[in-house]
Structure 1
Amino acid sequence: MEPKDGTLYAPAGPSVDITRSLDEDSMVDGPLISADALHSAIRREFQTVPTTYHAGLLSLLHVVYVVLSVCLAVLCALKVGQEEVCASILGKVSGDSVIVFGKVGLWALVLLFTACVQHHHSRTRSRGYLHFYRQMQGLKHLPLTVHSAGNVLLLVVLAARLPGNVQTYMLVSVLGLELLVGVPCLIYYAVKVMQFNRERAAPDVSQEEHSRNFSVTSMPTETGFRECSSLEEVVEKQADLIEYLKQHNTLLSKRLLNLTAQH
């Protein structure tokens, strides 16, 4: 029935839609943030892994320790004409004992280095560099493994109670073998970390999204389970990915608020 004033009542649905569209338009009219601005803001979050300096310093200390141990073994343990000088410096402590004490101190430094490396690599993992973290998983523990094996060999030599000169030669041989294995491991680790710092790559998830967006051929991803991969490895990768995505969303929300305030 038509009202007296000749107007028609409009249905409620369109009015709600009009109001909603006006609200959406008001939001669209606000400052827009480009994808390049967001990408550049997140890209600045890359942090280098500073353990290359630690690896270089530890390698230098290892070389110095072995050189001093060889000099100490030749001059004091083997007693090549320097008995009085060694007695005045070392007192009643034998040259072999000083070498073993130094080896314990070097092992403690390697243990401290491993803990420091684990801390920095865990932070790298939390920032989304899961491939680098897994790639360095075995390498970062290799120096401690080498030095621990060297300690075991030294204990075997000391427990064997060999004659004085033979025991000294065996100690020096173990230290030399440990040097030939341990220092290259540290150098190789430092090179891998330097390559990672030089590349300054985006997190793994960002790289996968970029490759999927700009690839010419559509290739299947490796997110799911494959016959050649173990189930435990897949579950661990997914757990790492979920943890990173949570932190990434938090960081992205903060960047959005900051960039919106700047605009």
Structure 2
Amino acid sequence: MDSKGPWLYAQAGPSVDMTRSTEEDSLVDGPLISADVLHSAIRREFQTVPTPCHATLLSLLHIVYVVLSICVSVLCVLKFGQEDVCVRILGHVQGDSVIVFGKVVLWMLVVLFTGCVQHHHNRARSRGYLLFYRETQGLKHLPLITHSGGNVLLLALLAARLPQDIHIYILLSVLGLELMVALSCLLYYTVKVMQFNKERAAPDVSQEELTHTYSITSLPTETGFRGGSSLEEVVEKQADLIEYLKQHNTLLSKRLLNLTAQH
């Protein structure tokens, strides 16, 4: 019984190897997909960030608010001969109170804009555009910080209880300064995002794969550790890359199945 064991094993071994090699040969002999085809297929997945439209709309609303605030201040607070019109439009509400109520509404719109921007930037980050996310990480919060700072100044002005003329002039000065700073931030942000949408670049990892050289003298890429980088920054970058690569592999698997079926 023991003498038959090696004979059976020797007989079964080649058949198993033959089956395995046949399966591997069938995979190798299948249609090969070039890297260019895969890269072009993935490149079509680029999605633009639509926030420049939101930033433009918010800028226009801010300009309209400041212009209306100036009109209300001149006509209804300083009372340059239009008291009847103000009473007919505003009723018994004070002109400066209307300006403050409008400022609250504008601040709420800025909060909604910041949340919308954060949502679209998180989606761009999940698609592998880590550098764009980091470059605009602080920029997208500047409008909200500016408007929140303007609200603090208005609260301090209301608490000061200055004479009406001085009060309204300082109020308009705060609104004008806030408008200049907020518009500058939104304009710079819009230019950055429009440049990103125009370039339609591949994700950061794909760009590094295309430009990477395997020579010893090559410099380390952004995904590695640099002398000037802190440990927290490196860990955060690696976590972003791991999250992206998981989704990237899923997309590659789907593209491979679709392209294999077409060929």
What TM-score does the superposition give when structure 2 sets the normalisation length? 0.91
Corresponding residue number in structure 2 for 1:180: 180
How far residue 214 of structure 1 moved from its aligned partner, in angstroms, is 8.9
Q: Mean Cα displacement is larger for which, 209-218 or 24-33?
A: 209-218
| Cα distance in structure 2, aligned partners of 1:262 and 1:240 | 33
Corresponding residue number in structure 2 for 1:3: none
Contact 2:62-2:179 within 8 A present in 1 as well: yes
Q: Are 1:194 and 2:200 matched, yes or no?
A: no
Task: Please give the per-residue CA displacement for 1:43-80, whole angstroms capped at 9, x wherever unaligned.
Answer: 11110000000000111111111011001100111001
Task: Please give the per-residue CA displacement for 1:67-99, whole angstroms capped at 9, x wherever unaligned.
Answer: 110011001110011111111111111110000
Corresponding residue number in structure 1 for 2:234: 234
Corresponding residue number in structure 2 for 1:260: 260
Q: Are 1:20 and 2:20 matched, yes or no?
A: yes
Task: Please give the per-residue CA displacement for 1:2-26, whole angstroms capped at 9, x wherever unaligned.
Answer: xxxxxxxx87655544443332222
| Cα distance in structure 2, aligned partners of 1:229 and 1:13 | 55
| Cα distance in structure 1, aligned partners of 2:215 and 2:156 | 58
Corresponding residue number in structure 2 for 1:144: 144
Task: Please give the per-residue CA displacement for 1:150-181, whole angstroms capped at 9, x wherever unaligned.
Answer: 00000000010111111111111100000110
Corresponding residue number in structure 2 for 1:33: 33
Corresponding residue number in structure 1 for 2:3: none
| Cα distance in structure 1, aligned partners of 2:139 and 2:223 | 25
| Cα distance in structure 2, aligned partners of 1:213 and 1:232 | 27
Aligned-residue Cα RMSD (Å) equals 2.0
Which residues in structure 2 correspond to 1:116-127 (within 5 Å)?
116-127=116-127
Contact 2:121-2:133 within 8 A present in 1 as well: yes
Q: Are 1:161 and 2:161 matched, yes or no?
A: yes
| Cα distance in structure 1, aligned partners of 2:230 and 2:223 | 13
Contact 2:76-2:86 within 8 A present in 1 as well: yes
- Matched AA of 1:225: F
Corresponding residue number in structure 1 for 2:112: 112
Task: Please give the per-residue CA displacement for 1:172-200, whole angstroms capped at 9, x wherever unaligned.
Answer: 11000001100111011000000000000
| Cα distance in structure 2, aligned partners of 1:246 and 1:149 | 41
Corresponding residue number in structure 2 for 1:129: 129
Corresponding residue number in structure 2 for 1:93: 93
Count the aligned residue pairs.
255
| Cα distance in structure 2, aligned partners of 1:40 and 1:188 | 31
How far residue 240 of structure 1 moved from its aligned partner, in angstroms, is 0.6
How far residue 216 of structure 1 moved from its aligned partner, in angstroms, is 11
Q: Mean Cα displacement is larger for which, 218-227 or 177-186?
A: 218-227
Indicate how the Cα distance of structure 1 residues 28 and 256 shifts in structure 2: closer, same or farther if over 3 A, else same.
same
Corresponding residue number in structure 1 for 2:78: 78
| Cα distance in structure 2, aligned partners of 1:23 and 1:71 | 81
List runs of 5+ in structure 1 lacking aligned partners. 1-9
| Cα distance in structure 1, aligned partners of 2:182 and 2:133 | 21
| Cα distance in structure 1, aligned partners of 2:58 and 2:70 | 18
Indicate how the Cα distance of structure 1 residues 202 and 88 shifts in structure 2: closer, same or farther if over 3 A, else same.
same
Contact 2:49-2:120 within 8 A present in 1 as well: yes
How far residue 231 of structure 1 moved from its aligned partner, in angstroms, is 1.0
Q: Mean Cα displacement is larger for which, 163-172 or 217-226?
A: 217-226
Corresponding residue number in structure 1 for 2:102: 102
What TM-score does the superposition give when structure 1 sets the normalisation length? 0.91
Percent of residue pairs identical: 78
